[in-house]
Structure formats: structure tokens, C-alpha cells
Structure 1
Amino acid sequence: MRPTSSSTRGTVTEAVFGCAHERGDRPALIDLGAGVVYSHRRLAEEVTRGASGLVKRGARGRQVAGIHVDNVAAHVLAVHTVIAAGLVAAPIVSGNGRMSDLLVRLDARFLITTPGLAESSLQAADVSRVRQVIAFGQARDTVDFADLLLLAPAPLPSLDPSVQPALRDDDGGVLTHENLIWRMCELDKVVALEKSDVLLVTWPLTSTLALTTLIGLALMRGSLVVVAPGLASQELSATIHDFGVTVLTLLDGTVQRV
């Protein structure tokens, strides 16, 4: 189950988390809004163990899993868990039409959410073919993601990155593992992230493909990602100083070095 090396030729999981265990307890992702911190090792382990739990609970290749969450850390963990399990991650942006209609159109069988959005997620799931709603925390009538981590390990599926779908983008297109890794590599030509970099991400969750691509690249390169959507200008300066930020996202969707 453990990714063993970072490769841009394999799956997204191998590319993003291949060196995570070597990086150990170095911080990988800090979400200031959600109040959570993940090390490289912990994030990789929760992704692979969570994916194994999905397989144990009946996930089958190329099924769609909707992702309806309210913080970036949950988005990252959900997307990569779904992809590692051989499913197709479909982030759902709040306010983007009726969620139930989208779940029906995608023929989604799983829905991953956060406790604050659990009620609306359950309502949408009830009128779709979603069989299981999984939440990052305890919420009525959902499966706690933490419980997936406690299940006996199951082998993760062997995936062909050139054809295996990984992610539905913001416009409804589908990216394979190969497509998504290519996007990360193209972005890296611009930002050239290194393990010594600290990346501050201030984009909202509405930019799901951009977030997935940039944060995936940062994790691949061993950079520290600090997430703080919607910072005011005075808070932005303080955060850059406090964390030693070297790379920053901008409101126009670009990324620049500080």
C-alpha cells in the first residue's frame, strides 16, 4: 500500500506521495482555517489507509466519488484518497447548481463531506445512487473517515495512469492520472518548487482543479503548504513573515515568488 518513490510516470499517488515516508514528520500541509497540520508521512498514510478502507467498503474501479467539503485540507485528503482507491474524484463547489442533480448525472456511489456540510450532503445523497456518505468527523448517518483507517488493509488496485480517470475538472471534463501529473509538471516549469519552499495558498475552494494541481505539485516536491483562504492584506503580510513564505498564490490565479 505504501508509495515507494516519487515518479512522474506512475499514478498520481506514486507521484505525489512517493517520497513521503522519507520526508517523515516534516510538516507538509497546514490549514490555518481548519486548524489542522499534516506531516508528509501522516498525510500519505491516511490517503493510502483511507483508500484501502474505501476498497474494503465496496469501492470499485472508476466509480465516481463526490467531494463536498468546507476546507482545503479535507479537499486534499479526500481527492487523493479517492484517486488512490481507483475511483474518480468529483469535487462539488457550493452554489454550483443542485448537488443532487450533479450526483445523479455523475452516477456517484460515494460522497465525502465535512460535518458542517453533512446534512445537505445526506439530503442530496438520498435522491441519488450514492450508497455511502463519509465525513471527516462524526456526523449523523455518515461513516467517519477515521473508521476507514481502522479497517484491515486491503490491496489497492493496480492502475494504468494513461487511461485511468482520476479527477473531474471544474468544467466537467475528466483527467487521467497522466493528465493530472502533466499539469503538475507544466506548472512546475513556472514556479520551480523545491523542498525548501513554503507555499502560501489563499485561493478559495471554488478553484478545485488549480488547488489540486498546485498542492499536489508542492507535496511531490516536498514543499510546505500553508493554506489560509481570504486573508486580509495585513494578515497576509504577517502570515508571510511568520511562516517564511517563499511562494504565494495571487487573486488572478497565478503563482509568484515572494
Structure 2
Amino acid sequence: MALASRFPDVEIPELSVPQFVLAGAAERADRPALVDGLSGETITHGELAFYVERMAAALAARGVVKGDVVAVFSPNTIWYPVVFHGIAAAGAVISPINALYTPEEIAFQLKDSGAKLLVTVSPFLDRALAAVQSAPVDEVIVMDGAEGHASLRDLLTSDAPAVQVDIDPAEDLVTLPYSSGTTGLPKGVMLTHRNLVANVAQCRPLFDLHEGDERVIAVLPFFHIYGLTVLMNQGLAWGCSVVTLPRFDLEQFLRTIQDQRVTRAYVAPPILVALAKHPLVDSFDLSSLRTITSGAAPLDESLAHAVETRLRRGASDGVAVSQGYGMTELSPVSHTTPEAGHEPAGAGPTPKGTVGYALPNTECRLIDPATGEDAAPGERGELWVRGPQVMKGYLNNAQATAETLDAEGWLHTGDVAVVDDEGRYTVVDRVKELIKYKGYQVAPAELEAVLLGNPEIADAAVIGVQDAESGEELPKAFVVRAPGSQITAEAVQAYAAERLAPHKKIRLVEFIEQVPKSMAGKILRKDLKNRA
């Protein structure tokens, strides 16, 4: 049974991504669009529109035509959106590459995507050039300049004629990020102009924007769909100032919020763990922050409350912490928590721990993994999503597409969720990450949330490991001790056992220096399984 959104549908403009995002550039021409959080260098909304037009013209002059793929291998900078929208305005497709990738991983993406050009930065040039040895491209452009390579300045000062490309928003691709999806090797996710435009338009009714006064900190990477849509394109389309940081460093992050008077932060749970627990937080003035939205991994209710309590400025004046849900294949948002006053008609505040409501224009189903039928009301099931943000499919991979996206347009997320009577969803865990113990399904996220409640534990991750004797999967915790803590494995197990049902007990503990995570904040469980 399809469950409709509690919000009325919104109109999806028939525009390309650059047309949509830059639509208000003229009226806010002199306002900052992009600010470098470290140097303060600024690009205004008017300058951004001009640079995008020049970038598109220069690419066309270099032989880039509609449908060509241009790979971008760069950390967050104020010039990343110029490159992205310039490529898109030329009718080409951007394939963003993870800044942590090795030459082998870069080469795989270049080859699989069929990239014609590679745009990078000088600190990444060694890896980029090593990759193109085995996956050649026509040209490597170095944004900040390098001998023997065109720079962004070269492109933006080009006198090439402006280009007008006929784009069909519903059919033409704008970006090709890579995702492991619900299983397997990375796959190119085909996202259209309409996918990305729709997702920004769908989110708008749930947010309380202070026009001309919003500053968004962009520390999550633009190469990840979360950063690309929610921070970069959404921020710019809504007229915000997007303040960029090249990577997450807690002191830089806090100082930038303070000095730039940041009002909105979109983060992943590990950043919230730091905001809740790290002593450095007390050294900075974070009073400008109004909202923190978490995504990319489950956010525990107690952690959200802990951050709100710590950052509260007065009896009621403080920051609101909430979460949303999505995945690359959803452009990426399908659910989020509305800000105060923007709830569905008749609804009250959204409880912590949920991912909120399905966005406008979005339908959901919850499917019992055991039976393949719709889950009973109040029961958990695999979340299926249908809406204008759902990907076109996986590049050159009909089998993987068919396994994830069915003939009726339902995207099978691989995540287990439950919905309450008000239409609010709670994501329990991933289907493939559930630990099976004595016939019970154990959700790693639940165990991790319990462990993070211990002040002697700075971070934790849980996976299932096979017991050779019983054949059962045993929950194993990888624990990072808090500074000064000497907590033992036995104490970790006892702490969890007091708070969990017997079948959820932590059976094994290993202490590590750091939980491996992607730049988007997801726990790299494969890395933990390899060492387990």
C-alpha cells in the first residue's frame, strides 16, 4: 500500500539545474554566495552567474558537447560550484570523485563513467595523473594551476562565445555520482536535472528561511550527494551564503561558525558526537546557529538532545537538532524533519530519533523482507520510495538497476523503517547490516547509540562476526576510549547488557584508535569486517 506524503505536492520547475539554482542571482547580485571559511575569499551571487556562463563557454570551445562526462576530483572550495554549474550549463554530466580515492579507484570511475575531461586541484594532481595513465582523458584541468595544465583562471578569462544548450530536464543527466547502493561495487547513479531541481523544490516547504540572513557551513563534501544537493545547490538556490571548508577539523569548524556567524549546519552524526562531548566546543561562540540537520547515518535521540542542551543559550533560545534521510539514488532526500511552524496541518513537533516526514510529491511503502508483502501497520519493513527525486538508474548496469528500481518506479532502499500514525518515519537499520543472532535481528545502530551514551566511550561501531562453533552472528563492538578513560572490555559489555535485551548483548569488544568512516560520516563496516 502506497503511503502518501502528509504535505501537498509542490510544482517542479521545468528548468536545468543551473537555470534553477541561479534564477535569483540578479536580484541578489551583490550578496555573498560563497565564502571560503579559512581565507574569507568571497564570490557574490552575481559573480557566480557570470563565472558559470564563462566556464560553460570555455568548455564548449574545448570540444565538450551535450552528454559528455567531466570528472571533478577536488575538496570543497568556493570554486567547486562554478565548475559544477559550468559543466552542467554546457550540457555535460559531472561525475564527482571522492577526495580520498586512490589512483586505482579514480581510474575505475574515469573508465566506468567514460569521462572526457578531469578537473582537479594541484594537491591532488599526483593521484590524478597516476589514474589517467590507465584511464586516459582528453585533458586534465587544474583549478588552482600547475605547469602544463590549463587553470580555472584560463577558462574563466576565455573570450569564447556563450553557449545555449537545449536540455530536457526529465531525461538529460546532470550528475553521475558513484554509490555502492544497496550492495556491491560502486555504480554510477544517473541523476537528471529534474531529479536535483525536484529535490530542492520538495525540501523548501519544510524550512523556515530568514531571507538574506542565512549562512550555511559546507564541511560535508560536495562530491557526496548530500553536500552537492543539500549544502551547495539548495543553499545557493535559496539565496544563502555557503561557507566552505576543505575537510572536517573540529577547531576550524567551530571557529568558522563563530567568525562567519553561521546559522545552519548540515552534518553527519560523528560531528554531533564531537559537539556533544569535546571540551573544545566551550571555547567558541556558536550562538548564531539556529538549526543543525543530521543525515548520512542514524542519529540517536539522546545524542540530539545532548547537543541541544549543550548549545542552549538561554531558557529556551538555542539550536534545534533534527535529522533527515536519503541516499545517492534519491538525489538524495526523501524524508526530513520540518522546522517549527512548518509541520503538516494539525501536527505537533517531530520527536527526536525520527527522520521526519516524506517530502512533498513522495510516496512510501514498507515491505516485510521475509514475505515481500506490505508490513502490517506499526510494523517495520524495508522502505521503498517513489517520487521525482528517484534516480534514472545505474549507468550501464541493467541488472543492478532492476534489483533496486522496480517496474512501478519504487526504489528499494535496503533500509528498515517504521512509520507512526502521524506519518513520521524512523529508520532502524540497513537490511544487509542487521545481525542475526538466535533468530533475532539485531540493529547495529541501536547498540552503537547505547554505547555512545557512556561518557568513557568517545565513539563506537558494531558489526556481526561469525562464530565458528555455533554458526551464529555475534555482535562485536569496536570502541574508541574517551581521553583519560581506562574502560575495559568487560565494563563495556556490562554497560550495554544493563540497557539491552539479552539477544542484543555485546559479545566481543575490540578497542581501536578511530572508527573508520567515509567523508560523509558513514561507518565503513567493510573495513571493520576485514579486521574482525
Report TM bin, short chain: 0.7 to 0.9
Report the counterpart of residue 268 of structure 2 in structure 1.
251
Please state which structure has a larger fraction of its residues in helix.
1
Unaligned runs of 5+ in 1: 1-6
Q: How does 1:1-258 map onto structure 2 within 5 Å?
A: 8-33=13-38, 36-96=41-101, 98-149=105-156, 150-171=158-179, 172-193=188-209, 194-205=211-222, 208-214=224-230, 215-228=232-245, 229-232=247-250, 236-252=253-269, 255=293
Aligned residues, how many? 250
- Equivalent pair of 2:144/2:152 in contact (CA under 8 Å): yes
TM-score when normalising by structure 1: 0.87
Amino acid at match of 1:50: M
Distance 1:102 1:239 in 2: 33
| Per-residue deviation, residues 60-105 of structure 1 (Å, max 9, x unmatched) | 1111111001334243222211111111100011344521122111
Distance 1:84 1:19 in 2: 16
Please state which structure has a larger fraction of its residues in strand.
2
| Per-residue deviation, residues 99-156 of structure 1 (Å, max 9, x unmatched) | 1122111111011111111232223223324101111122133211211222322323
After the TM superposition, which of the residue ranges 222-231 and 76-85 deviates more from structure 2?
222-231
Which entry has the higher C-alpha Rg, 1 or 2? 2
The Cα of 1:218 is off from its aligned counterpart by 1.2
Distance 2:235 2:21 in 1: 8
After the TM superposition, which of the residue ranges 50-59 and 134-143 deviates more from structure 2?
134-143
Q: Which has the higher contact order (CA 8 A, sep 6+)?
A: 1
The Cα of 1:175 is off from its aligned counterpart by 0.6
Distance 2:252 2:75 in 1: 21
Amino acid at match of 1:141: G
- Equivalent pair of 1:170/1:209 in contact (CA under 8 Å): no
TM-score when normalising by structure 2: 0.44
| Per-residue deviation, residues 190-217 of structure 1 (Å, max 9, x unmatched) | 43444321112232456x2111112211
SS at match of 2:170: coil
Amino acid at match of 1:30: V
Runs of 4+ in 1 over 6 A off after TM superposition: none
Amino acid at match of 1:183: N
The Cα of 1:35 is off from its aligned counterpart by 5.4
Report the counterpart of residue 483 of structure 2 in structure 1.
none
Distance 2:257 2:151 in 1: 34
RMSD value over aligned CA atoms?
A: 2.4
SS at match of 2:78: helix
